[in-house]
Amino acid sequence: MAEIDYYCFPISPFSYLAGRRLEDVAGKHSASITYKPVELMRIFAETGTPPVKDRHPSRQTYRLREIERVAEAEGMPVNLQPHYFPTNPVPVSVAIIAAQEAGGGDVGELLRFFLRATWAEDRDVADDSVVREGLSSCGFDPDLADSGMLSGLETLQRNTEEALKRHVFGSPTYVIGEEVFWGQDRLPHLDAYLAKLA
């Protein structure tokens, strides 16, 4: 069975726009998914990508237009200027890590809960009540929000170091072995690659 490592950033607009297509592709090919939250700002710093606020105005304008286009094509609601973006991604990253380790719920749905909260519902995913609501609604113990912070932070750092070693430079990125697929628009390529492995 193929294993997909999903290097994710839980407030990424393009991860939001992927919806559940990764899970659909994985299910089609009986592949497993390991969700690996990363410190995207560190990855940007180490791979030479400026934060959004420091990019040329032309790139900033295009990025917003692209988000709008993709959302329209996918029939997804989107707020191009969410009040709580950027926000501190660490609480939700650690919650995702703790949930995956605990099991019993839907990690993909948990990630989508936080992405939707940021990009469609104008909610602050750094707020403890939002984190706990996400955990509970996706089948996890909401008290995971308060436990394992230190080990979760260590895993977050390990994920980031691993991502850099595997040539990840943005999010969403999906990796199978040595094959790297960056961006939600590369999911058809991931689908085709999995088909070749069958």
Tokens 């990424």 sit at which residue?
12
pLDDT at 198: 82
Here the tokens at position 86 are 């950027």
Q: Which two tokens stand for residue 12?
A: 């990424």
CB atoms within 10 A of CB 82: 19
CB 60 within 8 A of CB 74: no
Which tokens in the block code for residue 169? Answer: 């430079």
Q: Which two tokens stand for residue 117?
A: 């909260």
Q: Are 21 and 187 in contact (CB under 8 A)?
A: yes
Cβ neighbours of 79 (radius 10 Å):
16
Name the packing angle between helices 149-165 and 90-102 (round to 10°). 100
* Burial letters 147-171, b for 16+ CB under 10 A, else e: ebeeebeebbeebbeebbeeebbbb
Q: What tens-digit pLDDT sequence spans the chain (198 residues)?
A: 899 999 999 999 999 999 999 999 999 999 999 999 999 999 999 999 999 999 999 999 999 999 999 999 999 999 999 999 999 999 999 999 999 999 999 999 999 999 999 999 999 999 999 999 999 999 999 999 887 777 899 999 999 999 999 999 999 999 999 999 999 999 999 999 999 998
pTM of the model: 0.95
**What radius of gyration, in Å, describes the C-alpha atoms of the chain?**
16
Alpha helices in 48-106 (DSSP H): 57-74, 90-102
- In this structure, the strands spanning 173-176 and 179-182 are antiparallel
Task: Evaluate whether 194 touches 2 at the Cβ level (below 8 Å).
Answer: yes
